[in-house]
Amino acid sequence: MTVTEHTLPFFLPIREVETDHLSSNAIRFIDHLEEILQSYIDRREQVRLIKELYGNQIGELFYSLPYTLIEFTLEDFECKVTVSIRYSDLILTLPSQARVLAWPLRSAKRISAADRRAQPVPSRLSYAENALKTLSLPEAYAEIVLELPRALKQMFYSQESD
C-alpha cells in the first residue's frame, strides 16, 4: 500500500512513516501518524495559548512550522530574557531541550555601577529550563514569570540596601 494523496501538513514526514509502517502494518501506520498529528496540534495550541494569555509580555516570538523549535523573549522586566525550546522528536509534547538566558540591560537602575560598565553577560535560568521540560508551555511560562523577579535579583542586582 502507498499514500497517493493526503491533506496533512506538508512538513510532517508522511513518506517516512509510510515507508516505516504502512507496508508491514496499516494500523501501526495510522497510530503513529495520529500520534505525530496530535503532538503537533498540542504544541501549536500551547503556543496559541501563551500568545493569547501572555501576548502583552512576550516580545519576539518565532517557531518552526511543526512547532519543534519555539523561541521568544520576555519584555516586561529589567532584563531581556530569551527562551528557546526544542523538541527532538515530532511525537513529543514536552521539549527535549530548553535554554533560558537573562541579559542584564545597562539602563537597569539597580544594577551596580561596576556591572553596568562591563560587557553584559547572560545568565542561565535553570529553574526556568526545568519548568519548560516538565510542564506545558503556558504552565511553565506562568512559573517562570512568578519566580523571575527573585531570580534576577539574586543574579544581577547589588546586595546593597536602598
pTM: 0.80
Is 109 buried (19+), middle (13-18) or exposed (0-12) by CB count in 10 A? exposed
Residue with the larger pLDDT of the pair 25 and 109: 25
Whole-number pLDDT of residue 143: 95
Rounded percentage of the chain residues whose pLDDT exceeds 90: 47
What's the mean pLDDT in 15-39?
Answer: 79
Q: Which residue is associated with the grid cell 561596576?
A: 114
Whole-number pLDDT of residue 76: 65
Distances (CA, A) of 72 to 6, 80, 132: 32, 10, 13
Whole-number pLDDT of residue 108: 47
Whole-number pLDDT of residue 38: 94
Flag the least confident range among 90-94, 103-107, 122-126, 133-137. 103-107
> Please, are residues 140 and 131 in contact by the beta-carbon 8 Å criterion?
yes
Q: Which residue is associated with the grid cell 545568565?
A: 123
Whole-number pLDDT of residue 86: 97
Rounded CA separation 15/90 (Å): 14
pLDDT band for 4, please (50, 70, 90 cuts): low
